[in-house]
Structure 1
Amino acid sequence: MADSLRHRIEAGEIPVDGQLPTQAELAETFDVDRATVQRALKELQDEGYVESIQGKGVFARNWRNPTPAHANGVAHRTDQASVELEDAIAEAFEAEHITIDVYCLTSESLNAALSRPVGRILRGELSPSSIKVRLLLPSPDALLAIPRNVSDPKDARPRHRLAGLIDLQTRVLRNLLGDLHTRGLTGSVVIETRTVPITPMTKIYLLNGEQALTGYYSVVPNNVLLEDGSVVGIFDVLGVGAKLYPQGLLQLEECQQWFDSLWTTIAESM
């Protein structure tokens, strides 16, 4: 695949700054899986034949005079700008078949980001053939590191509060997407939620098998109101508004394998 694309770029069939087919189109053309496509594109990117532009696609570069990724054996650092989850989700919903895998504390950020594409579907501007969301959340029944009472780490009430937040946000997600069928969407909608006994310190979004976004939760002290009416100081995690950074092709593959390994082994249905 890499040889074929390299030849097309050298021959001018794909001109400099011309956009390559999408990963899905390449996988179908060459009859390979998405991981193979990603490795081929990574090889061409390392050789200076292509460049991946976040949110737009993969484009041919001037292969005769490429900017080297390495000089004198030392890798240059290429910092990538953070991206907004709302923009990434909106782009993902342009596809015919939409897959969203998420590992996070609750689905609050995801729910907020879905409002724009859901609105477009309801207005008839988008009509995907399928939407599949897999949500991997922490199990509040486990002894999680966060959230916890600052003065009494054994206090179970902060975890009970988290359980309520998870339940609320997952119901919001199901109502948000499940309502699409009653509002005219003919495509399939599948929402699966599982839990793992792990405290998430990072959040991961895998979109259509083509993009991986990762961000970090910050541990912060927070005063919260519990169900019994008491105000308690807890160590909490701040995730709403956390910066998300796109991962490269190889990191995307690793993120997907990591997610699938949890999903198919220790994850339990809610």
Structure 2
Amino acid sequence: MTSGRSAGGARREWERVADSLRDRIEAGEIPVDSQLPTQAELVEQFDVARATVQRALKELQDEGYVASIQGKGVFARNWRNPTRAHANGAAVHPVSATVKLADAVAEAFEAEHITIDAYCLTSESLNAALVEPVGRVLRAELRPSSITVRLLLPSSDVLLAFPRNTEDPSDPRPRDRLARLIDLQTQVLRNLLFDLSVRRLVESVVIEIRTVPVTPTTKVYALNRAKGMTGYYKVVDQPVELDDGTRVSIYDVLGVGAKLYAQSAEQFAECQEWFDSLWETIAESA
């Protein structure tokens, strides 16, 4: 059984590591239930960064080839059991329903040309996910040629469903607070990525931010026009302190900790068209 993952182009480093380990497990060179070499040993064997090894092991775990046991290591699994087959006989590996944004962004940064489309309330989660791969570019572990980010955010001049004062929906202060948070987070985003251009580590860095007069109840990310994720904002009633020192109760959302769910190929195609339709019609430059 072969992966075929690298057909049609040069493999990325983590794919090279994953393909090699997968082949060794399938051939019995790494027997079922036996422990794989440590991450440090794999780094030395493949002459790659630790993050590359971690990404490869994550892929193999998602496919059912290995299992990680905390405090003990990574062990080969019976890879034949988790697979199921389509009617045409092609093997399909189960993929975890949830995905971490940091892992997905790290994977996206393995490409030469990186694109990130995001529809969200602020860019806080995206900023956090960018820190590690940006650090790898700064350390010359990754050398992308271009990074393009399109960010869709809620307009600050419309009455949003949240955040809002639970007692007085017309109170503009929660919305003003959100606008300041958005300004802060988008500036962080610009600083993170434009620094790579200033240092001439990436040839082209483009960040476009547009707003739509809609309250986002979900967050959506599309990476390299190939992979999509969706998360759901949960509305909560919580007290906050405003700039004037007043404490009020507002309806707000839990965004940073929201679970993200991987989209199927069909879902992603529809999601990308949806994002593009907003971007090209009602979205306005921030």
TM over 0.5: yes
Q: Which has the higher contact order (CA 8 A, sep 6+)?
A: 1
Is the counterpart of residue 184 in structure 1 residue 200 in structure 2? Answer: yes
Is the counterpart of residue 210 in structure 1 residue 195 in structure 2? Answer: no
Is the counterpart of residue 67 in structure 1 residue 84 in structure 2? Answer: yes
SS at match of 2:174: helix
1:100, 1:67 → 2: CA distance? 32
Partner of 2:3: 18
Aligned partner letter, 2:117: D
SS at match of 1:124: coil
Partner of 1:34: none
Is the counterpart of residue 252 in structure 1 residue 268 in structure 2? Answer: yes
Aligned partner letter, 1:235: Y
Query: Cα RMSD (Å) of the superposition?
Result: 2.6
What's the offset of the Cα at 1:19? Answer: 2.3
Cα 1:259–1:25 change in 2 (3 A) is farther
1:25, 1:206 → 2: CA distance? 21
Deviation digits for residues 71-128 of structure 1 (CA, Å, limit 9, x no counterpart): xxxxxxx884311111110000000000000000000000000000110111111110
In the alignment of these two chains, the number of paired residues is 216
1:113, 1:150 → 2: CA distance? 32
Cα 1:55–1:98 change in 2 (3 A) is farther
Any unmatched runs of 5+ in structure 2?
Answer: 11-55, 64-82, 88-93
What's the offset of the Cα at 1:198? Answer: 0.6
Aligned partner letter, 1:18: S
1:228, 1:155 → 2: CA distance? 14
Is the counterpart of residue 233 in structure 1 residue 249 in structure 2? Answer: yes
Q: After the TM superposition, which residues 255-266 of structure 1 pair with which residues of structure 2 at under 5 Å, given as runs? A: 255-266=271-282
What's the offset of the Cα at 1:186? Answer: 3.8
Cα 1:247–1:55 change in 2 (3 A) is farther
SS at match of 2:177: helix
Aligned partner letter, 1:225: E
Is the counterpart of residue 97 in structure 1 residue 82 in structure 2? Answer: no
Is the counterpart of residue 113 in structure 1 residue 129 in structure 2? Answer: yes
What is the aligned counterpart of 1:129 among 139, 142, 145?
A: 145
What's the offset of the Cα at 1:67? Answer: 3.5
2:252, 2:86 → 1: CA distance? 40
What's the offset of the Cα at 1:220? Answer: 0.3
SS at match of 2:136: helix
1:194, 1:203 → 2: CA distance? 15
Q: TM-score, normalised by structure 1?
A: 0.74
Any conservation in 2 of the 1:84–1:244 contact (CA below 8 Å)? yes
2:211, 2:98 → 1: CA distance? 28
SS at match of 1:195: strand
Partner of 2:285: 269
1:154, 1:69 → 2: CA distance? 54
2:9, 2:212 → 1: CA distance? 34
Any conservation in 2 of the 1:98–1:207 contact (CA below 8 Å)? yes
Deviation digits for residues 181-233 of structure 1 (CA, Å, limit 9, x no counterpart): 22231420000000001111110010001100111000001111112211110
Any unmatched runs of 5+ in structure 1?
Answer: 1-15, 27-52, 60-65, 71-77
Aligned partner letter, 2:254: L
Deviation digits for residues 10-63 of structure 1 (CA, Å, limit 9, x no counterpart): xxxxxx2322346x849xxxxxxxxxxxxxxxxxxxxxxxxxx99749x9xxxx
Q: TM-score, normalised by structure 2?
A: 0.70
SS at match of 2:99: coil
SS at match of 1:227: coil
Any conservation in 2 of the 1:127–1:187 contact (CA below 8 Å)? no
SS at match of 2:98: coil
